[in-house]
Structure 1
Amino acid sequence: MTVWDRPEPPTRPAPLDRERIVAAAVALADEGGLEAVSLRKVAARLDVGPMRLYGYISTKEELFDLMVDEVHAEILPEERPGDWREALRGHAHRTRRAALRHEWLADLLGGRPALGPNALAVSEATLSAFDGRTDIDVVMRAVETVSAYFTGAIRREVADLRAERATGLSKDEWQRASGPYLTRMLDTGRFPALARLVHDGTDVDAETSFSTGLDWILDAVAAKLGEPPV
Structure 2
Amino acid sequence: MTQQMETTRRIPLNRDRVLAAAVVLADEAGIESLNMRRLAQELGVVPMALYKHIANKEELLDGMVDVLVGEIDPPVRDAGWKTAVRLRVLSARRSMLRHRWARQVLESRINQTPAVLEYMDSFIGMFLAGGFSADLTHHVMHALGSRMWGFTQELFDDPATPPPASVPPEVQAAMLREIAARFPNIAAVAGAANHDDGSVVGQGCDDQFEFEFALDLLLDGFERFHEQGWTSERAKLDR
Q: TM-score w.r.t. structure 2 length?
A: 0.70
User: What is the aligned partner in structure 2 of residue 46 from structure 1?
Assistant: 43
User: What is the aligned partner in structure 1 of residue 138 from structure 2?
Assistant: 140
1:24-80 per-residue CA deviation (whole Å, 9 max, x = no partner) reads 100110012211111111111111111111111111111111111111121132633
Letter in 2 for 1:84: W
User: What is the aligned partner in structure 1 of residue 184 from structure 2?
Assistant: 192
Does structure 1 retain, via aligned residues, the 8 Å contact 2:36–2:50?
yes
- Judged with a 3 Å threshold, the aligned counterparts in structure 2 of structure 1 residues 78 and 173 are, in CA distance, closer, same or farther, namely farther
Structure 2 residue 25 is matched with structure 1 residue 28: yes
The aligned runs of 1:119-134 (5 Å cut-off) are 119-129=116-126, 130-131=128-129, 133=131
Shift of 1:122: 3.1
Aligned length: 202
User: What is the aligned partner in structure 2 of residue 202 from structure 1?
Assistant: 193
Letter in 2 for 1:193: N
Question: Which segment is superposed worse, 204-213 or 120-129?
Answer: 120-129
User: What is the aligned partner in structure 2 of residue 18 from structure 1?
Assistant: 15
Measured on the aligned residues, the alpha-carbon RMSD in Å equals 3.4
Structure 2 residue 84 is matched with structure 1 residue 87: yes
> Where in structure 1 are there 5+ consecutive unaligned residues?
1-12, 164-169
Does structure 1 retain, via aligned residues, the 8 Å contact 2:81–2:130?
no
SS state at 2:193 partner: coil
- Judged with a 3 Å threshold, the aligned counterparts in structure 2 of structure 1 residues 92 and 174 are, in CA distance, closer, same or farther, namely farther
Structure 2 residue 71 is matched with structure 1 residue 74: yes
Does structure 2 retain, via aligned residues, the 8 Å contact 1:29–1:37?
yes
Letter in 2 for 1:140: H
Paired residue for 2:52, among 38, 50, 55? 55
User: What is the aligned partner in structure 1 of residue 113 from structure 2?
Assistant: 115
Query: Identity, % of aligned pairs?
Result: 30
Does structure 2 retain, via aligned residues, the 8 Å contact 1:84–1:126?
no
- Judged with a 3 Å threshold, the aligned counterparts in structure 2 of structure 1 residues 114 and 62 are, in CA distance, closer, same or farther, namely same
Question: Which segment is superposed worse, 173-182 or 19-28?
Answer: 173-182
Does structure 1 retain, via aligned residues, the 8 Å contact 2:75–2:88?
no
CA distance in 2, matches of 1:210, 1:219: 14
CA distance in 2, matches of 1:150, 1:176: 41
- Judged with a 3 Å threshold, the aligned counterparts in structure 2 of structure 1 residues 124 and 85 are, in CA distance, closer, same or farther, namely same
Does structure 2 retain, via aligned residues, the 8 Å contact 1:72–1:122?
yes
CA distance in 2, matches of 1:211, 1:92: 9
CA distance in 1, matches of 2:168, 2:217: 31
Does structure 2 retain, via aligned residues, the 8 Å contact 1:87–1:125?
no
Does structure 2 retain, via aligned residues, the 8 Å contact 1:22–1:67?
yes
Letter in 1 for 2:57: K
